[in-house]
Amino acid sequence: MSLQFKWNKQIPVDTAQVGRAILAEHDPYRLVGDGVNEFLRLEEFASLYSKLGRGAVCPIILSLVTVFQFLENLPDREAARRAVTGIDCKYALHVPLTWRGFHFSDLSNFRQRLLEHGAERLVFDKVVAWVQSLGFAKRHGKQRSDSSHIVACIERLSRLELAWETLRVASRAIQATAPSWYGQTIPLVFHEAYAE
Given a cut of 50, the residues of the chain with pLDDT beneath it are: none
Give pLDDT, residue 3.
Answer: 61
- Cα 89 from Cα 15, distance rounded (Å): 10
Contact 63, 15 (CB under 8 A): no
pLDDT digits (tens, 9 = 90+) for 169-192: 888 888 889 888 888 888 888 777
- Cα 165 from Cα 171, distance rounded (Å): 10
Rounded to the nearest 10 degrees, the angle between the axes of helix 28-39 and helix 13-22 is 140
pLDDT digits (tens, 9 = 90+) for 54-80: 677 888 899 899 889 988 888 999 999
Q: DSSP readout, 34-95?
A: HHHHHH--GGGGGGGSBSSSSBPPPHHHHHHHHHHHHHHT--HHHHHHHHHH-HHHHHHHT-
Of 131, 158, 145, nearest in space to 73 by CA:
158
- Cα 144 from Cα 153, distance rounded (Å): 14
